Structures are given as structure tokens and as C-alpha cells.
């Protein structure tokens, strides 16, 4: 049994329906990302935080702009 925060801190994934999902699985299957052990779909990220997901990582807008030179649209 992995609490959400352990999953988030140690492996960098998140929990969905009692299953542990690594970041890349989340990115590939759901198109979202993990934040604090929670699974956040792209549209939730875009609507609530205004950021986006890259390979299962949550990237704030300014990080995207600075490092990747792109922008976030719909997560």
C-alpha cells in the first residue's frame, strides 16, 4: 500500500482507483499529470491552474516559456 504522498515523492506517479500509475502511463493513457500524488487531467490543469502537462509532469506556464519556448493550450 502506497499513500498518495509516498507515490508522488518516491516514484513520481499518482494513484487512480487504488492503482499506482507512473507518470509516463498517466501521460500516455490519460493525457494528464500527477500533482502531489493526485491524477490531474489536462483540462483540470488548464482550467484551474493555467499550466500544462509534459510527459506526466506538471509544468507552470513560465517554465514552459523559459525552457521549451512554447505555451499551454487546453492543458
String of DSSP letters for 9-71: IIIS-EEETTEEE-HHHIIIIIS-EEETTEEE-HHHIIIIIS-EEETTEEE-HHHIIIII---
Q: Give the mean model confidence (pLDDT) for residues 36-45.
A: 78
Residue 74 is assigned to a structural domain of this protein: no
Contact 7, 17 (CB under 8 A): no
How many structural domains is the chain composed of?
Answer: 1
Q: Is the pLDDT of residue 11 over 70?
A: no
Q: Give the mean model confidence (pLDDT) for residues 6-12.
A: 69
pLDDT attached to residue 49: 67
Host H or E run for residue 57: strand 57-59
Residue 73 is assigned to a structural domain of this protein: no
pLDDT attached to residue 2: 67
Amino acid at each position: 500500500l502506497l499513500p498518495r504522498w509516498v507515490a508522488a515523492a518516491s516514484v513520481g506517479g499518482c494513484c487512480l482507483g487504488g492503482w499506482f500509475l507512473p507518470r509516463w502511463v498517466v501521460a500516455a493513457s490519460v493525457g494528464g499529470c500527477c500533482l502531489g500524488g493526485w491524477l490531474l487531467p489536462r483540462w483540470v490543469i488548464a482550467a484551474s491552474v493555467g499550466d500544462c502537462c509534459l510527459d506526466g509532469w506538471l509544468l507552470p506556464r513560465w517554465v514552459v516559456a523559459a525552457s521549451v519556448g512554447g505555451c499551454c493550450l487546453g492543458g
